[in-house]
DNA sequence: ATTGTAAAGTAAACAGTGATTACTCTTTGA
DNA sequence: TCAAAGAGTAATCACTGTTTACTTTACAAT
């Protein structure tokens, strides 16, 4: 609607709105995003915000996209920071960074991977590519480990059910990634394991059962990578 | 407050309220529980519901407790139904039942393991024991498998980090369960894996990536059990 | 310098929400 | 028979997202 003389102040206002929304979430949970509350915090009335986001769901969608990108950035940064390490440790380190980001950015993680709002669900055409970006660093390291012999797939992790391999292969071809189906598949398994621990931890279900979640996480991930055939 | 002459009609009304709340959730998601809406559906005004649940959060807590018990019941039923099967298949079958319940009772699962409402979190003193009940069947089968030799723990799944073993051992002693720390620990790992797949599937993140989630789940669980040392 | 136009913001209102209070029936046990 | 307690209601408070109609502000071109 706007976009004429001063684009930057418009975008700055959008950024301010998102920042305050994030702050509200951090204080009172993902569902606490309130347009009227945001308005109050920046000396504006609620309807004025509609000049910047046509609806509350659009604001939330914007926050979700930011969240995915933040996670992807963190993983890429961890990957880059560990580039002198041997491949298995690098892969492990990126997975540790994954959980680290989730814990530090608690509500963002809940927002992007949880059940943020009433009937609201972010449009898949925006989330699916965003999700893919978050495990590109992982799947790439996995592929490198496979090719370099740092990971020699060991039964039962040396095979993929036919129907799934076909689907994964199609996705890889579609995206044009230089990746084997096995690297992709092992990443999916690792991803689900990582995610399960983080989610249970986040909602206070895991801590009471294992005590030190840090140690549990690292042990579980190392065990999984080992059982896949990682040579440390 | 009540509890005098006619307890049963009081409890029936409570049950009706919960049933309608569940129906509302099923239609419009976990956050769609509205006291006024429930009232409308049963020809009552909203304030009248406060005779049965002092606050909306108490109603939700009751629904959560029901949810945990429903899941636990389903697992116990699956366990019982499979009692002629060999132990590994029985364990596998119970884990399949876990996901089955989650998919059939979508919103109940989201309610008990997710982030149901604004700042709301069910009191831990009620959820923790309920959670424990849900994995009693699993941990028992795990112990039986270990003792019978159907599961011979294989590295790296034959050891537990010291601090965690200590915590788990204390929990076991506290509850007085006839269970080894290893059985408990392997259950925790399996639980987190199961949970990760279900949660990602539930919010439409996994399906697009692997296609047939049924197959992915069964393959992943079989692979995990195998790598732990299961003899099928 | 003035004017016209579009962007930015506001006030008021609508239809909801959970929760509380004060009140009225209705049933029942002594 | 009648007081007491249970069950329910109407009215109200303080919120929410959203829409509409209106006003202010600021800039660009005449």
Distances (CA, A) of A185 to A164, B83, B109, B166, B209: 9, 33, 26, 34, 9
Q: Which residues of B touch A210 (CB under 8 A)?
A: 164, 167-168, 188
Q: What is the mean pLDDT of chain B?
A: 91
pLDDT score for B9: 81
pLDDT score for B1: 39
Quote the Cα angle for A120-A124-A130, to 5°: 110
For residues B78 and A115, the model is more confident at B78
Question: Each residue of B62-78: pLDDT tens digit?
Answer: 999 999 999 999 999 99
Q: What is the mean pLDDT of residues A102-123?
A: 82
Residues A50 and A75 in one domain: no
Q: Residues contacting strand D at CB < 7 A? A: A 5-6, 33-37, 46-47, 50, 54-57; B 1-6, 9-10, 13, 39, 43-48, 51
Q: Give the tokens for residue A99.
A: 């959980």
With a cut of 60, say whether residue B102 has pLDDT above it: yes
> Are the beta carbons of A82 and A96 closer than 8 angstroms?
no
Residues B182 and B86 in one domain: yes
Residues B46 and B63 in one domain: no
User: How close B81 gets to chain A, by Cα (Å)?
Assistant: 27
Q: Which residues of B touch A133 (CB under 8 A)?
A: none
pLDDT > 70 fraction of chain A, expressed in percent and rounded: 95
> Are the beta carbons of B18 and B33 closer than 8 angstroms?
no
pLDDT score for A144: 98
**CATH value at residue A27:** 1.10.10.60
**Closest-CA residue to A161 (of B13, B222, B134):** B222
pLDDT score for A2: 37
- Using the Cβ of A30 and the Cβ atoms of chain B, whether some distance falls under 8 Å is answered with yes
**CATH value at residue B28:** 1.10.10
Q: Examine the fold and report which residue of A12, A38, A54 is the final residue of a domain before the chain moves on.
A: A54
Residues B50 and B85 in one domain: no
Residues A210 and A134 in one domain: yes
CA of B2 to C1' of D4 (A): 13
* 3-state secondary structure string across chain A: CCCCCCHHHHHHHHHHHHHHHHHHHHHHCHHHCCHHHHHHHCCCCHHHHCCCCCCHHHHHHHHHHHHHHHHHHHHHHHHHHCCCCCHHHHHHHHHHHHHHHHHHCHHHHHHHHCCCCCCCCCCHHHHHHHHHHHHHHHHHHHHHHHHHCCECCCCCCCCCCHHHHHHHHHHHHHHCCCCCHHHHHHHHHHHHHHHHHHHHHHCCCCHHHHCCHHHHHHHHHHHHHHHHCECC
Domain ranges, residue A146: 56-228
Residues A83 and A48 in one domain: no
> Which residue, chain included where needed, has tokens 């269970």?
B179
Q: Which residues pair with A230 in a beta bridge?
A: A151
pLDDT score for B12: 87
> Which residue, chain included where needed, has tokens 């929990």?
B171
Q: Hey, are the CB atoms on A115 and B113 less than 8 Å from each other?
A: no
**CATH value at residue A65:** 1.10.357.10
Q: Examine the fold and report which residue of A17, A39, A54 is the final residue of a domain before the chain moves on.
A: A54
Q: What is the mean pLDDT of chain A?
A: 92
Question: Each residue of A173-223: pLDDT tens digit?
Answer: 999 999 999 999 999 999 999 999 999 999 889 999 999 999 999 999 999
Reported as a pLDDT band with limits 50, 70 and 90, residue A121 is confident
Residues A70 and A157 in one domain: yes
With a cut of 50, say whether residue A1 has pLDDT above it: no
**Closest-CA residue to B44 (of B25, B23, B16):** B16
Q: How many domains does chain A have?
A: 2
Residues B106 and B133 in one domain: yes
pLDDT > 90 fraction of chain A, expressed in percent and rounded: 77
Which of A9-13, A51-55, B16-20, B218-222 comes out lowest in average pLDDT? A9-13
Positions of strand C less than 7 angstroms from a protein CB: 6-12, 16-22, 28-29
Question: Each residue of A3-29: pLDDT tens digit?
Answer: 344 577 888 899 999 999 999 988 888
pLDDT > 70 fraction of chain B, expressed in percent and rounded: 94
**Chain A with chain B: Cβ pairs closer than 8 A:** 166
Residues B125 and B201 in one domain: yes
Question: Each residue of A63-91: pLDDT tens digit?
Answer: 999 999 999 999 999 999 999 999 999 99
Q: Examine the fold and report which residue of A37, A54, A71 is the final residue of a domain before the chain moves on.
A: A54
Residues A47 and A62 in one domain: no
Which of B14-28, B132-146, B154-168, B209-223 comes out lowest in average pLDDT? B14-28
Residues B50 and B73 in one domain: no
**Closest-CA residue to A133 (of A61, A74, A69, A62):** A69
Question: Each residue of A131-174: pLDDT tens digit?
Answer: 889 989 999 999 999 999 999 999 999 999 999 999 999 999 99
pLDDT score for A146: 98
Residues B133 and B25 in one domain: no
Q: Which residues of A touch B227 (CB under 8 A)?
A: 156-157, 227
Contacts of residues B93-99 at CB distance under 8 Å and 24 or more positions apart, as own/partner, are B94/B137, B94/B138, B94/B141, B95/B138, B95/B190, B95/B194, B95/B221, B96/B217, B96/B218, B96/B221, B98/B71, B98/B74, B98/B138, B98/B194, B98/B198, B99/B194, B99/B197, B99/B198, B99/B217
A80/B27 Cα distance (integer angstroms):
46
User: Quick one: A103 exposed, middle or buried, by C-beta within 10 A (0-12, 13-18, 19+)?
Assistant: middle
pLDDT score for B25: 86
B228/B183 Cα distance (integer angstroms):
11
Q: Which nucleotide does the CA of B52 lie closest to, via C1'? A: D7
A182/A189 Cα distance (integer angstroms):
11
Which of left, alpha, beta for A211 (phi over 0: left; psi -120 to 50: alpha)? left
pLDDT score for B119: 58
pLDDT score for B151: 98
User: How close B34 gets to chain A, by Cα (Å)?
Assistant: 11
Question: Each residue of B162-210: pLDDT tens digit?
Answer: 999 999 999 999 999 999 999 999 999 999 999 999 999 998 899 999 9
pLDDT score for B193: 98
> Are the beta carbons of B226 and A157 closer than 8 angstroms?
no
Question: Each residue of B7-51: pLDDT tens digit?
Answer: 778 888 899 999 999 988 888 788 778 888 899 988 888 888 998
B77/B99 Cα distance (integer angstroms):
14
């Amino acid at each position: 609607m706007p976009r004429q003389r001063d684009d930057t102040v418009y975008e700055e206002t959008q950024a301010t709105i998102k920042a305050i929304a994030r702050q509200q979430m951090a204080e009172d949970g993902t569902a606490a995003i309130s347009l009227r509350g945001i308005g109050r915090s920046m000396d504006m009335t609620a309807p004025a915000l509609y000049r910047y986001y046509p609806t509350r769901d659009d604001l939330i969608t914007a926050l979700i996209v930011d969240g995915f990108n933040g996670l992807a950035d963190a993983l890429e940064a961890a990957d880059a920071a560990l580039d002198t390490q041997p491949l298995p440790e690098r892969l492990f380190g990126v997975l540790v960074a994954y959980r680290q980001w989730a814990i530090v950015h608690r509500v963002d993680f809940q927002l992007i991977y949880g059940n943020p709002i009433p009937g609201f669900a972010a449009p898949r055409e925006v989330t699916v590519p965003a999700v893919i970006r978050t495990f590109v660093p992982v799947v790439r390291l996995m592929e490198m480990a496979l090719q370099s012999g740092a990971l020699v797939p060991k039964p039962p992790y040396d095979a993929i059910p036919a129907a799934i391999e076909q689907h994964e292969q199609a996705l890889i071809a579609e995206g044009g990634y230089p990746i084997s189906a096995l690297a992709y598949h092992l990443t999916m398994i690792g991803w689900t394991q990582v995610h399960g621990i983080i989610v249970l931890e986040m909602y206070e279900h895991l801590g009471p059962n294992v005590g030190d979640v840090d140690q549990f996480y690292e042990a579980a991930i190392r065990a999984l990578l080992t059982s896949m055939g990682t040579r440390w």
